[in-house]
Structure 1
Amino acid sequence: MATGERKLFHFVIYIHLLNISSFVVPVTGFALKTCRISYDVAICSNSKLRTVPQDIPSTVIGFDLSKNNISRVKVSDFTNLPVLTKLDLKLNRISQIDNGAFANLISLKKLNLNNNKLVELGEDLFHGLSNLTELRINSNHIKAVASTSFKPMTSLKFLDISRNKLQHITEVHLILQHLPHLKELSVKNNNLTTFHSWDLTNNSLELKSLDLSQNPIAIFSITADVFPNLTWLEIGNSSRKQQMIWDVRNKTFFSRVSILDISGLQMAFDDMKTLLETVNSSLTTLRMNSINHNLTALINISCTIPTMSTLQLRNKELKSVSSHMLKLCINVTELDLAESQINNIHVNAFRSVQSLRILNLRNNMLSSVPAATRNLPSLVELNLSSNKISKLGCDDFTNQTMLRELSLGGNEISALKECVFKDLIRLQVLKLQTNHISRLNGAFQKYLPNLRQLLLNGNSLTALKNEQFRGLQSLQNLSLHENQISELENGSFIGLTNLTEILLQINKITAEEINKGVFNDLINLKRLDFRENRIKYETSSALLHAPFSQLSRLEILAIPSQHRREKSHLPRNFLQGLTNLLVFNTRNIQLLSLHEDMFTYTPQLQTLDISSNELMDLSPGLFSSIPNLKSLYVSRTSLRSLDFLLHANLAKLEFLQARKNQYSVISEEIIKSVPALVYVDLQGNSFTCDCDNARFLQWVKNNNQTQIFDAYNFKCNYPASFEGKKLLELDVRLCSVDIEFICFISTTCTVLLFMVVSFTYHFLRWHLAYAYYLFLAMLFDTKHKNKQAPNQYDAFISYNTHDEPWVIRELLPKLEGEQGWRVCLHHRDFEPGKPIVDNITDAIYGSRKTICVISRRYLESEWCSREIQVASFRLFDEQKDVLILVFLEEIPTSQLSPYYGIRRLLKKQTYLSWPRAGEHTQLFWEKLRQALKTREHLGEDSLLRSAVERP
């Protein structure tokens, strides 16, 4: 069958199948309906799911079902995930969890049920979770907890049940009594109104962190040492105006607490003082945010605690820092005054805090760098970001020789001065992002010898001058993205010999600028990002000087999505010198082609992104130099096929993204050409729904190595009647040829045929012979009956050569000599050179009668059998008396049985017997003469009976 005919045949079959059935073959591989697998984690988030998908491989260790519409968790949802360790169900609508729904998750360690609609926790809700160590169930509507809800979770160490509607400490008691190894507990923002230690007695707790904040607790009473290991306590309440009563009978009950958060706590000053005295011997970190009354007094009390080193005072009411506010905080090393409204800091505000190492003034109203910071010789980290600073002076950082990190991002600075950072000899991180800086004015040419990270992104720089960063010999990371840079002078990066990363995306850099060789000074550079610039080349011809020829250590190069939407090329030697390049991203730069020699300079390349271009076809030779490629992105490139993979030698390719192209058929050879593939994304392509994709469909459904993302949504675009149908709904079983089945059928048929033939030959060979000759006679009669000539002879004598003496001595003299008949003998009258069969037929049809001289030899003769068959067929067909049987010897009826045709003739036809004639031969010859004289019509009584008749 020709190829076109075969396709038409299968097309008709598909039409028929789609009209009569909607059967879908279930997927057993990694073609998941709504999810994808990434590093053994099933990611199904934000997929509008209403139920838990059941096609997740049993080998996953993580399952992300967050941000869906699941309302119920059923017993059957997680029955086959024996190695799952993390389950995320947050941000759904779960209001019901069946008892035992998690019973099969024997390896689960982390469970997240945050932001759902649970109202109560039932008796067997967590049955089977004996290995669970972390449970998050905040932001639900939980009002009640069954007495044994938490009993199965004997390994639980972290529990967050905050932002619910628990009202009584007894619910907390029910939780704690079954969790002897719990380390962290958060019941933040519930409706607890009292907290009494007697409700928690008889518990041997290992609890180290307890968060009771944002509860309307009126009485906090501890009369027993129920938290002997507690080191972190949060008890603030910013939403309650009524004061809390603090009743802790023994100051040693919280003697181990090192981190205390009382933000927003409303409490009488004496109780607050007592509270602070309770942690006097262990406190290291105190958070007193949003406390508006007696703040200075509380600060002075807390600062007398000798162990306290970290103080957080975030307060929207705090507008200034006076000289005496921190007077007693001589041991504080970290001070956090962020997110306040501070616009003024007294010059002596920090004079007492000489040990201060970290100062956070982020998100305030400061218009300049506070002079008070100059009196902090031990300061290591200073955060002044998100203020209103517009200028930096040469004295702003005087004496800050120990400073390691300085944050000035999000201010209104427009220019720098050469001297501004002169004293920051140990500075390692400088953040100046999101300002209005347009001029650097040599600020980085002399100073900052130890700077490693410089953020200048989001400013108004337009050009980088010669030796602009000469003083930054230790710099490793430079961020210049989101500026207006269009000019790069030669020597712009001189001195940056240790730079490993430079970000230049979203600027106005052109090809002409990078062709200057300005990057050749960055000999240790590993990452270079040019996204969203104006790099464009007219041809793929080689450049005289490759722009990155000296960057042999570069590992990541990105030049995607240029501003101008004009068609472009890349010079064939654009990547020359990048012998260690691992990642090359040239997405969406309107490329028309890639020269076959493009990657000959990058033998180590592992990730290539050429998506969103107009390449249409890719030469297999393009990939011959990058055999280590593991990830390939070729989406939206107008590719008409993936045939380039056949000869690309990508044996190590693991990830392929080829969305929204123009190919419709993926052959078996293409699949085999990428044996290491573990993830492929072909989303948005329109496939041909015929047998050309049969192997691809079988692979999608049955492979257990490669995950085919979104395979359930692959659609057909050809033939027209299939348009819009899902590819995986097609049954391609008729497209495949099962060689083994065909061999089985063929062998079986051959054996059966052999048996039938053997049986027939053994038992029915004579009947078959008769049927064969009868058929030949029919053919001969059909051939000759319409051209019958006048009878040439009176009789044709049919005999066996062994009976020839009787015919010559007895029969012939009587018939021709005495009676005068004209007879035909084969040895005398047959035409020489004429086929024997034709001679026989002509003799029989050219004679009025046929005389068959029958003997045992006659019955065994092939030619005699043919002669009598032709004569008998003439008898049956013409209904004329044309046959005379003469038996030369007695033949029993039993011996005639195999000769079914002769036996049947004997029952209907008279015959003559020579042995019966005996001595009365005259009567025999008379009977024969009369038989030759009779009329031919059988309807008349024309045959004379012989003297002896056989039954």
Structure 2
Amino acid sequence: MGHRWEEDKMKPTVGSKCCKFRTIFLLLTIVSFVGPVSGFALKTCRINQNSALCVKSKLKGVPRDIPSTVTFFDLSENRISRIQALDFSDFPVLIRLDLNRNNISQIDSGAFANLVSLQKLNLNNNKLVKLGENVFNGLSRLTELRLLSNHIKEVASTSFKPLTSLQILDISHNKLGSLEKIHLILQHLPHLQELIMKNNNLFTFRSWELTNSSLDLRVIDLSQNPITVFNITKDIFPNLTRFNIGGSSRKQQMIWDVRSSTFLSRVSVLDISGLQMALGDMKTLLQRVNSSLTSLRMNAMKYNLAKLINMSCTIPTLSSLQLKYNKLKTVGSDLFKLCVNVTELELTKSNIKVIDDNAFRSLRSLKILTLSSNKLMSVPAATRNLPALLELDLSNNNITSLQCHDFTNQTKLRQLNLYLNSIPDLKDCLFKDLTRLQVLKLQSSHIRKLNGAFKKYLPNLTQLNLYGNELTAIKGGQFKGLRSLQNLSLHENKIESLEKESFVGLTNLTRIQLQSNKITKKQLDKDVFNTLINLRRLDLENNNIKYESTLALSNPPFSKLSRLEELSINAQHFRMKHLLPRNFLQGLTNLLLFKVRNNQLVFLHKDTFQYTPKLQTLDISSNDLPDLPPELFFPIQNLKSLYISRASLHSLDIFIGANLTNLEFLQARVNLFSVIRKEAIKSLPALVYLDLQSNSFTCDCDNAWFLQWVKKDNYTQVFDAYNYTCNYPPVVEGTKLLDLDVRDCSVDTGFICFVSTTCTILCFMIATFTYDFMRWQLVYAYYLFMAWLLDTKHKNKQAPHQYDAFISYNTHDEPWVIRELLPKLEGEQGWKLCLHHRDFEPGKPIIDNITDGIYGSRKTICVISRRYLDSEWCSREIQAASFRLFDEQKDVLILVFLEEIPTYLLSPYHRMRKLLKRQTYLSWPQAGEHTEVFWEKLRKALKNKEDPDEDRFHLNLLEAP
């Protein structure tokens, strides 16, 4: 039977299938998405940029979990007793290593051999007794080595041989005892610039014991050695510029024997503090440096101080003279009469009570005068005779009052230190001549009143320290004369009263410290900061500022401080709970840091930070903030550091949706966290440091992802994670969180990916080969299944047949059906036939029409031709008829071949007839001219009973393959 659609698609031949033997394999790639945050934890240390900091960690050995990329490794103040060969085997870029204050008594051979980039090594304050032959192997780039305060007695001849680049060596406070051991060190150090060997029990210094050749040393420190003989017979220090030979507690005088006046002739800084030597030898010593000395230290001299001062001041190049710890008591008019070239004089801690008015008259070039930590009762009049003075230090004396004439003529003074005295009141005329003063330090001097001392004068003052006094109020205009002031320190006073114009005139002020006073909200409401338009830092910690509502303020206290970068209001003193007005920070458009720690805050309005879009550091720790909305952080997307410790937070889920993509540092100690969710961590993609100490962690599978994340050594450092403890369930309470075995909790993603990939590949291979070799069998099975489905609808129908035969043919064979078949079977023989163009029900699905036609007819006549075999709809019709043959076990199928068809063209579903009973195959070409026989056989086939068990009526058969 034909159809309304022409089917011209040709099936591939067997030959073409052989040529297209396909072995196609798809490359299946499984992509792993690695999140932007990975974690790692160090058991005892923390990483800060490229530095590993393990200070005071009670370590007994060098930790092995430090990243190899660090450039500074600080292991100071621990309990390490031995440096083993592999302790520093994997630090190729380490530049500084600090092992100060340990118990190191042994260093294995080659322990530093792999530190090829090391430049500075600190082994101070350990218990080394001997330096072995290979102790410094590999340190060819080391420039600074410190071995101070060990117990070193012996040095191997090749200990320092690898240190060819060493420039600074400090081996002070050891027990070398002789220059021969120093010689073993120096012979391998061609570039050494500084040699510090204080307190090494050296009793003699003879140049030939140290070396026979010139050294390139610039600095040598022999102080605190009981040297009794100093003998140089050869110019071994031609480039020496700094020489320290003082500081010994010996009672015996040292013999000075330097053979040539040219030896030590380049020394510019000389320290002979506490040195006991005959006056003649002392004069000889000073003559050796007569043409080069610029700085001389004679601290704690027991004898002949006045004569030594006169001798030293005859040196024309001397500019700096330090005389600390000398028991002068009184400074007479002639003590410094020869010091005309001195520009810096220090008399600290010399027990001075009285200074003659003319004591400094000859010091016309003096620029720096230090008289701190003495017993002066007032400002010495002698200081008024110093026209070139730039710095004057009178701190820590017994000065009780300041007079208007105390600083007369000090027009060039740049810095004045008066702190740690007892000066209750200042006078308004006190600083009238200090027109160039830049730094004034008056802290901790019991000042109670300013009395207008800063209203008129000090136009160039940039720094004023008034902290630690007893000020209670700052009246209006008190600082209006300080038009250049940049830094004002008023902390640790008792200030409780501020006025609107307290800081008027301070238009250039960039920093003001007001912490630890008694300032209240009432003072802020007076707009006291409105004139500080250039303020950068404001500290209001430890005051009494309190707000009870989040309602917006009509007059925010910082609305005019648009350039403020740092604001701190930590620890306000009150007992009740506290709130912040929603617009408390209004106007602070450039604020970078805000601290509101320990204020008993119970709520932060979501609009609190809408005025601070540039905020980078926020500290809201030690408050009661269990419910922080994510919206709170929306305006501060530039936040980099956040402190939320002791805030009663129950989880880190507040960050989910907060969009803090730039947050790098998070400290959240002592909260109520029990489970750390993956989503919370993933919401902070830039996080590099996380501190969750002292939280109540749950040790079960809920934290499995967090534990695995912590142990990865990639990006985020989880500080002290190895000491996190379990709080729940009770059976594991107190155990370490990272000791929890989570293998049963996690899914082996790798294994799943392997299995799924393998299955996918296998399925693809099976599908490929099946398509190549069995696709037509599958098509047949499909049609067979569809026929079975359609048959289900008709299986129970017992209606009589409507037609004698259903005619299945291709459109191209329709002329034969109309001219030959239809006239014979219907016209002459009287059979009723079902034809698609005549009997199909319009609007009904084609497949339903086909099925109804086949099951409504006693027989099905298939008119077979080559085009018929290529037709999809014809194939469906013959499959439906074949299924009826299988299902009803009736001989209902008649095949009429219109042309000779080769066996190989018969597809699998067309060969099914051979598997049945070989009957009712009619061939039109074989009929030839005897068509009457053909039609008679067809008539008998139509008339033949359908019972397959009855006698078969054999016709002319076409043998199928």
Report the counterpart of residue 372 of structure 2 in structure 1: 362
Are residues 1:461 and 2:471 paired?
yes
- The partner residue of 2:670 within 651, 656, 660 is 660
Are residues 1:529 and 2:539 paired?
yes
Deviation at 1:669, TM superposition (A): 1.1
Report the counterpart of residue 693 of structure 1 in structure 2: 703
- The partner residue of 2:53 within 36, 43, 54 is 43
- The partner residue of 2:251 within 220, 232, 241 is 241
Deviation at 1:743, TM superposition (A): 5.6
User: Structure 1: which amino acid aligns with 2:283?
Assistant: K
CA distance in 2, matches of 1:224, 1:612: 69
CA distance in 2, matches of 1:622, 1:565: 26
SS of corresponding position for 1:519: coil
**Is contact 1:200-1:226 (8 Å) kept?**
no
Report the counterpart of residue 274 of structure 2 in structure 1: 264
CA distance in 2, matches of 1:312, 1:74: 46
Report the counterpart of residue 215 of structure 2 in structure 1: 205
1:443-454 correspondence runs (5 A): 443-454=453-464
Deviation at 1:749, TM superposition (A): 7.9
CA distance in 1, matches of 2:673, 2:266: 68
Report the counterpart of residue 831 of structure 2 in structure 1: none
Report the counterpart of residue 134 of structure 1 in structure 2: 144
**Is contact 1:60-1:84 (8 Å) kept?**
yes
1:183-221 alpha-carbon deviations (Å, 9 max, x no partner): 111001110011111123343422100000010001000
User: Structure 2: which amino acid aligns with 1:268?
Assistant: A
Deviation at 1:733, TM superposition (A): 2.7
1:270-311 alpha-carbon deviations (Å, 9 max, x no partner): 000000000000000000011121111111110010000000
SS of corresponding position for 1:647: coil
CA distance in 2, matches of 1:743, 1:604: 45
Are residues 1:218 and 2:242 paired?
no
CA RMSD of aligned residues (A): 2.0
Deviation at 1:563, TM superposition (A): 2.1
CA distance in 1, matches of 2:158, 2:383: 56
Structure number with higher helix proportion: 1
- The partner residue of 2:646 within 636, 648, 660 is 636
Deviation at 1:862, TM superposition (A): 11
CA distance in 2, matches of 1:394, 1:743: 88
Deviation at 1:176, TM superposition (A): 1.1
- Greater shift, 418-427 or 687-696, is seen at 687-696
- The partner residue of 2:241 within 231, 236, 243 is 231
**Is contact 1:113-1:137 (8 Å) kept?**
yes
**Is contact 1:558-1:585 (8 Å) kept?**
yes
- The partner residue of 1:274 within 247, 266, 284 is 284
- The partner residue of 1:419 within 429, 442, 445 is 429
Residues 154 and 464 of structure 1, relative CA distance in 2, 3 Å threshold = same
CA distance in 2, matches of 1:241, 1:347: 36
Residues 610 and 450 of structure 1, relative CA distance in 2, 3 Å threshold = same
- The partner residue of 2:154 within 138, 144, 161 is 144
Report the counterpart of residue 626 of structure 2 in structure 1: 616
Report the counterpart of residue 412 of structure 2 in structure 1: 402
**Is contact 1:216-1:237 (8 Å) kept?**
no
User: Structure 1: which amino acid aligns with 2:284?
Assistant: T
Are residues 1:580 and 2:590 paired?
yes
Report the counterpart of residue 114 of structure 1 in structure 2: 124
SS of corresponding position for 1:253: coil
Are residues 1:387 and 2:400 paired?
no
**Is contact 1:304-1:328 (8 Å) kept?**
yes
Report the counterpart of residue 595 of structure 1 in structure 2: 605
SS of corresponding position for 2:257: strand
Deviation at 1:665, TM superposition (A): 1.2
Report the counterpart of residue 349 of structure 2 in structure 1: 339
SS of corresponding position for 1:520: coil
Report the counterpart of residue 776 of structure 1 in structure 2: none
User: Structure 1: which amino acid aligns with 2:673?
Assistant: Y
Report the counterpart of residue 672 of structure 1 in structure 2: 682
1:379-426 alpha-carbon deviations (Å, 9 max, x no partner): 000000000101000000000000000000001111100001010000
TM-score normalised by structure 1 residue count:
0.76
Report the counterpart of residue 729 of structure 1 in structure 2: 739
User: Structure 2: which amino acid aligns with 1:416?
Assistant: L
Deviation at 1:747, TM superposition (A): 7.5
1:606-632 alpha-carbon deviations (Å, 9 max, x no partner): 000000000112111111111110000
**Is contact 2:214-2:235 (8 Å) kept?**
no
CA distance in 2, matches of 1:298, 1:748: 94
Report the counterpart of residue 903 of structure 1 in structure 2: none
CA distance in 2, matches of 1:738, 1:259: 71
Report the counterpart of residue 114 of structure 2 in structure 1: 104
Report the counterpart of residue 303 of structure 1 in structure 2: 313
- The partner residue of 1:442 within 445, 452, 456 is 452
Are residues 1:511 and 2:531 paired?
no
- Greater shift, 742-751 or 557-566, is seen at 742-751
Deviation at 1:173, TM superposition (A): 1.2
SS of corresponding position for 2:529: helix
Deviation at 1:694, TM superposition (A): 1.8
- Greater shift, 584-593 or 563-572, is seen at 563-572
Deviation at 1:741, TM superposition (A): 2.6
CA distance in 2, matches of 1:607, 1:742: 43
Deviation at 1:703, TM superposition (A): 4.4
SS of corresponding position for 2:280: helix
Among all aligned residue pairs of Structure 1 and Structure 2, give the percentage whose two residues are the same amino acid.
Answer: 67
- Greater shift, 316-325 or 435-444, is seen at 316-325
Are residues 1:485 and 2:495 paired?
yes
User: Structure 2: which amino acid aligns with 1:637?
Assistant: A
TM-score normalised by structure 2 residue count:
0.75
Deviation at 1:469, TM superposition (A): 0.3
1:869-880 correspondence runs (5 A): none
- The partner residue of 1:165 within 175, 197, 202 is 175
SS of corresponding position for 1:735: coil
CA distance in 1, matches of 2:200, 2:752: 72
SS of corresponding position for 2:607: coil
User: Structure 2: which amino acid aligns with 1:144?
Assistant: E
SS of corresponding position for 1:671: helix
Report the counterpart of residue 471 of structure 1 in structure 2: 481
SS of corresponding position for 1:275: helix
SS of corresponding position for 1:189: coil
Are residues 1:377 and 2:387 paired?
yes
Deviation at 1:663, TM superposition (A): 1.4
Deviation at 1:586, TM superposition (A): 0.4
Report the counterpart of residue 882 of structure 1 in structure 2: none
Deviation at 1:732, TM superposition (A): 1.9
Report the counterpart of residue 724 of structure 2 in structure 1: 714
CA distance in 2, matches of 1:279, 1:194: 22
Residues 399 and 691 of structure 1, relative CA distance in 2, 3 Å threshold = same
CA distance in 2, matches of 1:170, 1:717: 63
**Is contact 2:301-2:326 (8 Å) kept?**
no
User: Structure 2: which amino acid aligns with 1:715?
Assistant: T
Report the counterpart of residue 500 of structure 1 in structure 2: 510
1:697-725 alpha-carbon deviations (Å, 9 max, x no partner): 12111141111100101111122212111
Are residues 1:651 and 2:628 paired?
no
SS of corresponding position for 2:594: strand
1:327-352 alpha-carbon deviations (Å, 9 max, x no partner): 10000000000111001100000000
CA distance in 2, matches of 1:199, 1:219: 13
Report the counterpart of residue 92 of structure 2 in structure 1: 82
SS of corresponding position for 2:352: coil
CA distance in 2, matches of 1:204, 1:222: 12
Higher relative contact order structure (alpha carbons within 8 Å, sequence separation ≥ 6): 2
How many residue pairs get aligned? The number is 736
Report the counterpart of residue 101 of structure 2 in structure 1: 91
Deviation at 1:316, TM superposition (A): 3.9
User: Structure 2: which amino acid aligns with 1:363?
Assistant: S
**Is contact 2:226-2:248 (8 Å) kept?**
no
